[in-house]
Structure 1
């Protein structure tokens, strides 16, 4: 042992201090945005930008209306229907497409081309084939989310590492075993990320459809208040939309984090 090693060995080590948790960054951001909203509302006319208190008051008044509650319930039901379809149909289609190289090479460019087109341009087609009402709204919401789901899952399925597949072939593993033990664990992180991404896209597509063709729903309620310049009602409904989206967004983000921690690939920074 050298002199320096001996000195280091004799140096007392301070006990590790517990990490300070502090205030969560999302809470800090939320407080900052609320303060900025209040400051802007104080500087401009309240008829243009209502204060947070005014928006919440108008929202509470609207929530006492049976018609408004029915509209909110219709939006939640349509969103749930469309999103379940996105998750199931998009995941299965993307999985099968990613495993079939010929069909992936043939279909993927077309899917990317359609995805690059602004969705609102294609909305008249949904009106033509599905008519006014829930069918066109749910269909457009489904369309807004299913393409990203298919593309993300198919890319993940096509990118399964070849070495485990070769090892499985040498061990003569059955196809169901290869899928459950190798392919699906490799796809799950991308699938979890796609779930989080497509939820917002599906919700956005639904609100747009309700604005154009709805006779109920939060999108319809938002657009109905625009000609009447009811800014308090509009901002309050925007707050409600954010609240409806917040819980699923947090849950899907937590799910994605846990799935990536368990099934995610090792990064270069790990040194492995």
Structure 2
């Protein structure tokens, strides 16, 4: 009987990574194939072919105004998302460890989260006016609420036995947060970071469409008004590409956190 050669952890990690990559790649290729088939059958300007969409995007990227709009969107998105992630995670964690305040405030936050955010944008526009402040604040509001809820619920789910044991040993609050609360809540918070990014990006594009002077949302609305379907499809592709890299990174961080701290939950 021959002994099997042990597989190194590095090779196993690479194999697992490739195994996770091929399903979304295959699905993306299937979507493109369906898109191309639909455009070929309909032969309509309303449904441009993928090649026409790429050409439209190339033409847009040759315009300095469009490139400036892309940079504006990326800049405001980065600021709004980092602020929403930090504020939501910290505030949610601090609220979740306090039973009275979590019972009192979380239902109100759930009600606020159920309200369609787009209906609140006129308030941001009226108070903050046109510009980066209003669209950035709206994007922040769209991302911070789900991040806050996820962090608060994750913290509320920490084992009360561990907390009571720490209290009986007179462990300081900071040490309790570092040694018990954060390790237990981190897997859920990592998932919240990924979801918060999507909501923040969505809120920013909506704000740019309604009242932006620049940005991808404004460029998208401009092409809608003049009926440039190939440019619209190209901008949708660009938005998907801009969202892909951060989402993939946050997904990897979520899996790593679950493997590293999942046993503490």
Residue matched to 1:151: 149
SS at match of 1:172: coil
Unaligned regions of 5+ residues in structure 2, if any? none
Correspondence for 2:175 among 177, 182, 203? 177
Residue matched to 2:261: 263
Give TM-score, length-normalised by structure 1: 0.89
Correspondence for 1:104 among 102, 105, 110? 102
Computing the radius of gyration from Cα coordinates, the structure with the larger value is 1
How far residue 13 of structure 1 moved from its aligned partner, in angstroms, is 8.2
SS at match of 1:173: coil
Correspondence for 2:70 among 72, 93, 105? 72
Residues 66-120 of structure 1 deviation map (CA, whole Å, 9 limit, x = unaligned)? 1000000000011011101101111111011111222111111111111101111
Correspondence for 1:86 among 70, 78, 84? 84
Measured in 1, the distance between the counterparts of 2:261 and 2:214 equals 42
How far residue 53 of structure 1 moved from its aligned partner, in angstroms, is 0.9
Distance 1:17 1:50, change over 3 A: farther
How far residue 186 of structure 1 moved from its aligned partner, in angstroms, is 0.8
Mean Cα displacement is larger for which, 33-42 or 17-26? 17-26
- The answer to whether structure 1 residue 252 and structure 2 residue 224 are counterparts is no
Measured in 2, the distance between the counterparts of 1:66 and 1:131 equals 26
Measured in 1, the distance between the counterparts of 2:40 and 2:4 equals 50
Mean Cα displacement is larger for which, 234-243 or 104-113? 104-113
Measured in 2, the distance between the counterparts of 1:32 and 1:194 equals 29
Residue matched to 2:115: 117
Measured in 2, the distance between the counterparts of 1:175 and 1:133 equals 42
Q: 1:202-221 counterparts in 2 under 5 A? A: 202-221=200-219
Measured in 2, the distance between the counterparts of 1:118 and 1:45 equals 37
Unaligned regions of 5+ residues in structure 1, if any? 1-11, 268-272
How far residue 30 of structure 1 moved from its aligned partner, in angstroms, is 1.0
What's the C-alpha RMSD, in Å, of the aligned pairs?
Answer: 2.0
Give TM-score, length-normalised by structure 2: 0.91
Contact 2:184 2:264 in 1 (8 A): no
Residues 170-206 of structure 1 deviation map (CA, whole Å, 9 limit, x = unaligned)? 3332222211111110111111000000100000000
How far residue 46 of structure 1 moved from its aligned partner, in angstroms, is 3.9
Measured in 2, the distance between the counterparts of 1:31 and 1:192 equals 29
Contact 2:187 2:262 in 1 (8 A): yes
Residues 238-257 of structure 1 deviation map (CA, whole Å, 9 limit, x = unaligned)? 00000000000000000000
